[in-house]
Amino acid sequence: MITYRKAASSDIPDIIKMRIGYMHETHHELTDEVFDEIAHRSEGYFQEHLNRDCIVYLAMDGEKTAGCIFFLLINKPASPLFITGKTGTLMNVFTLPEYRRQGIAKHLVQMAIEDGKEWELSYIELRSTNDGYPLYRSLEFAEDKSIYMNMKLKLVQ
């Protein structure tokens, strides 16, 4: 039986393993050295941010982590695009292969949505893979059409 909960600091090693598992599926081109560096840097991040501005929701099969999502909370000055000044970003929605197609990711995302409503977030955003797109559409996420163009300046290679 799958149970659901928010992660605690004692879950950080499992959170990192799940995140690296997600990245192995989505970034085949990366080397083991890159994954090791990401895992190393992630530990410090989670020690500092977990349950502050990063909430991780876990699906547990006994002691085994079957799925997870990361929910980043962002607070910025209010604007017409985010009237409360508070937004959320979902990332690394991941379920182990043997647990897929059982509604686990949907349940985890719904937990985040309910918390987002409680925290008065103006919106929750995410970047979807092709596999995840039907799930997010079923939960009323819509493609973000904007007068603004997404841009970034890469500082580290």
pLDDT at position 28: 87
Which residues on adjacent β-strands are paired with residue 87? 74, 123
Percent of the chain with pLDDT over 90: 89
Secondary element (H or E) of residue 6: strand 2-6
Q: Is the pLDDT of residue 20 over 80?
A: yes
- Report, at the CATH architecture level, how domain 2-135 is classified: 3-Layer(aba) Sandwich (3.40)
Q: Is the pLDDT of residue 86 over 90?
A: yes
Percent of the chain with pLDDT over 70: 100
pLDDT at position 156: 83
Average pLDDT over residues 96-120: 97
Q: Rounded distance, CA 87 to CA 73, Å?
A: 6
- Amino acid found at 151: M
Please state at what angle helix 32-49 crosses helix 12-26, rounded to 10 degrees: 140
Q: Which of 4-8, 118-122, 138-142, 146-150 has the lowest mean pLDDT?
A: 146-150
